[in-house]
């Protein structure tokens, strides 16, 4: 008889950065699993945590004791008694004041700085016009963060700042490399912000930040999703890929630029040097260009996607056709990515999702026609769970991720 392994481990250990499963590591992992259960199900009793986690009651009691001592969690309504005089189980909650998380969502036109508590409630939000001089602008943001720290001094700790950036990001070197929408080049964002705030800074590209926000905070139906594809439709087209619960960043930290897969070898030349990239057909820039061509000499000249969407909502024929054509191209590209990645859900973000009723049937029809695996037809394609700035939620999630994610062991 063949003896089959009872587990489903598949990762090759990383011998260049060994993290053996010692006692400290196990303690950290269990502690974070408990914090995740609390975040998801609070208020929750120790007995319920034991049931969900599979850990025994003594271990739960030890870890919750440590978390209480560390002010990470609080007991809710302690001291109550039941009608027959017994002590009811004391539910536990995350202590929202334990951590104040900073998120900075930098876009070409506008930057938003937000402070959220440990329960993901935004307590402060300020917006600025994004400056062309990166150093001057980041120093200004740093100063604002210092002010917010003083104003919200009831937080026990500020563990860091998450920054979402609209372009190529190398989060090893901490640099923002380049962007087509912002004139910043090789900007040491991490170094500049850390120097001015004295807090750890984590950066990532906005599509990947948005993907992270979806896997951590997306709608309830995604709660058990481990593999997700996020398609950010903006001036350009970029993707974020979540594999087994973690962001895929690639060997050089630039993964996700699927917008530069050619879909027409005879197409127009792209800024990346190739011809007929997906980006040239399905980005906001492409939709606006198409509308201009369809409109001809009649109608208004539109350069902002929000305005074009308003026209679609008002029933404008050329604007609707421009968006429908973009939906077809989105469907074509997404089909290829579903065939290659087999995600459990595809999430689309951007202004274009405001007319979801117009684009969804076309995207679904395109994908149904060309998917390889019959089962792939059932893969849900959804608009982002966050109507306003998924990338801001993502910037905050970068910091939360550093507090609640579990490490790869080995
Ligand atoms: Zn290209």
Per DSSP (E only), the strands in 244-321 are 246-247
pTM: 0.90
Ligand 1 center to 64 CA (angstroms) = 51
Checking if the pLDDT of 273 tops 70, the result is yes
Per-residue model confidence (pLDDT) at position 297: 77
Neighbouring CB atoms inside 10 A of 36's CB total: 16
349-367 mean pLDDT: 95
Ligand 1 center to 258 CA (angstroms) = 9
Confidence class for position 369, pLDDT limits 50, 70, 90: confident
Ligand 1 center to 373 CA (angstroms) = 28
Ligand 1 center to 59 CA (angstroms) = 53
Ligand 1 center to 355 CA (angstroms) = 26
Ligand 1 center to 381 CA (angstroms) = 24
Residues 6+ apart with CB under 8 A from 307: 300
Ligand 1 center to 113 CA (angstroms) = 31
Ligand 1 center to 170 CA (angstroms) = 19
Ligand 1 center to 88 CA (angstroms) = 62
Per-residue model confidence (pLDDT) at position 179: 86
Q: Are 88 and 77 in contact (CB under 8 A)?
A: no
155-169 mean pLDDT: 96
Name 113's bridge partners.
104, 126
Ligand 1 center to 264 CA (angstroms) = 11
Tokens read off for 27: 């303690």
Checking if the pLDDT of 254 tops 70, the result is yes
User: What does the alpha-carbon distance between residue 329 and residue 6 come to, in Å, rounded to a whole number?
Assistant: 44
Query: Which tens digit of pLDDT belongs to each residue from 5-38?
Result: 556 666 777 777 766 677 888 888 899 999 999 9
Ligand 1 center to 32 CA (angstroms) = 41
Per-residue model confidence (pLDDT) at position 87: 63
Ligand 1 center to 254 CA (angstroms) = 14
User: What does the alpha-carbon distance between residue 59 and residue 65 come to, in Å, rounded to a whole number?
Assistant: 10
Ligand 1 center to 279 CA (angstroms) = 7
Q: Which residue has the higher pLDDT, 14 or 81?
A: 14
Per-residue model confidence (pLDDT) at position 296: 82
Confidence class for position 205, pLDDT limits 50, 70, 90: very high
Ligand 1 center to 72 CA (angstroms) = 46
Checking if the pLDDT of 320 tops 70, the result is yes
Confidence class for position 84, pLDDT limits 50, 70, 90: low
Per-residue model confidence (pLDDT) at position 388: 75
User: For a pLDDT cut of 70, what percent of the chain falls above it?
Assistant: 91
Please count the residues of the chain.
Answer: 410
User: For a pLDDT cut of 90, what percent of the chain falls above it?
Assistant: 70
Per-residue model confidence (pLDDT) at position 253: 84
Ligand 1 center to 272 CA (angstroms) = 4
Ligand 1 center to 234 CA (angstroms) = 15
Checking if the pLDDT of 1 tops 60, the result is no
Query: Which tens digit of pLDDT belongs to each residue from 210-250?
Result: 999 999 988 756 668 999 999 999 989 999 999 989 999 99
Give the strand order in the sheet containing 246-247.
Answer: 246-247, 237-243, 228-233, 345-349, 381-383
Confidence class for position 251, pLDDT limits 50, 70, 90: confident
Query: Which tens digit of pLDDT belongs to each residue from 173-185?
Result: 899 998 888 899 9
Ligand 1 center to 305 CA (angstroms) = 21
Ligand 1 center to 43 CA (angstroms) = 49
Query: Which tens digit of pLDDT belongs to each residue from 384-394?
Result: 988 778 999 99
Q: Which residue has the higher pLDDT, 88 or 174?
A: 174
User: What does the alpha-carbon distance between residue 262 and residue 407 come to, in Å, rounded to a whole number?
Assistant: 36
Ligand 1 center to 262 CA (angstroms) = 7
Ligand 1 center to 310 CA (angstroms) = 29
Ligand 1 center to 131 CA (angstroms) = 26
Query: Which tens digit of pLDDT belongs to each residue from 107-128?
Result: 988 999 999 999 999 999 999 9
Q: Which residue has the higher pLDDT, 249 or 373?
A: 249
Confidence class for position 370, pLDDT limits 50, 70, 90: confident
189-215 mean pLDDT: 96
Ligand 1 center to 297 CA (angstroms) = 29
User: What does the alpha-carbon distance between residue 356 and residue 173 come to, in Å, rounded to a whole number?
Assistant: 38
User: What does the alpha-carbon distance between residue 382 and residue 317 come to, in Å, rounded to a whole number?
Assistant: 25
255-275 mean pLDDT: 92
User: What does the alpha-carbon distance between residue 231 and residue 64 come to, in Å, rounded to a whole number?
Assistant: 39
Per DSSP (E only), the strands in 199-329 are 201-205, 228-233, 237-243, 246-247
Ligand 1 center to 268 CA (angstroms) = 10
Query: Which tens digit of pLDDT belongs to each residue from 56-65?
Result: 899 999 999 9
């Amino acid at each position: 008889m063949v003896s089959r392994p009872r587990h489903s481990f598949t990762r090759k250990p990383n011998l260049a950065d060994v993290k053996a499963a010692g006692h400290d590591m196990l303690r950290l992992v269990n502690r974070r699993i408990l914090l995740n259960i609390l975040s998801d199900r609070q208020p929750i009793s120790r007995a319920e945590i034991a049931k969900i986690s599979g850990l025994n009651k003594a271990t739960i009691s030890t870890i919750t004791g440590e978390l209480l001592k560390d002010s990470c969690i609080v007991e809710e309504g302690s001291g109550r008694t039941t009608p027959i005089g017994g002590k009811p189980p004391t539910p536990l909650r995350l202590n929202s004041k334990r951590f104040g998380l900073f998120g900075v969502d930098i876009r070409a036109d506008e930057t938003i700085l937000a402070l959220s508590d440990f329960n993901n409630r935004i307590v402060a939000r300020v917006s600025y016009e994004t400056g062309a001089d990166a150093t001057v602008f980041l120093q200004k943001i740093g100063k604002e963060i210092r002010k917010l720290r003083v104003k919200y001094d009831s937080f026990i700790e500020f563990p860091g700042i998450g920054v979402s950036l609209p372009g190529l990001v190398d989060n090893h070197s901490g640099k923002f490399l380049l962007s087509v929408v912002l004139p910043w080049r090789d900007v040491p964002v991490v170094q500049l912000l850390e120097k001015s705030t004295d807090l750890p800074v984590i950066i990532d590209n906005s599509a990947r930040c948005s993907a992270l926000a979806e896997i951590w905070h997306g709608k309830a139906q995604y709660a058990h999703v481990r593999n997700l594809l996020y398609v950010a439709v903006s001036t350009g087209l970029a993707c974020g890929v979540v594999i087994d619960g973690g962001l895929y960043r690639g060997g050089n930290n630039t993964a996700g630029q699927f917008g530069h897969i050619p879909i027409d070898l005879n197409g127009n030349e792209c800024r990346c040097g190739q011809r007929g990239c997906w980006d040239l057909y399905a980005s906001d820039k492409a939709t606006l260009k198409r509308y201009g061509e369809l409109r001809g000499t009649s109608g208004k000249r539109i350069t902002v996607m929000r305005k074009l969407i308003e026209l679609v909502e008002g029933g404008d024929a050329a604007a609707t056709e421009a968006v429908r054509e973009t939906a077809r191209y989105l469907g074509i590209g997404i089909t290829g990515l579903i065939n290659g990645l087999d995600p459990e859900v595809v999430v689309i973000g951007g202004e274009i999702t405001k007319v979801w009723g117009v684009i969804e049937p076309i995207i679904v029809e395109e994908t149904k026609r060309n998917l390889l695996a019959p089962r792939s037809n059932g893969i849900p394609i959804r608009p982002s769970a966050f109507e306003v700035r998924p990338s801001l939620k993502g910037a905050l999630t970068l910091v939360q991720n550093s507090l609640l994610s579990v490490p790869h062991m080995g």
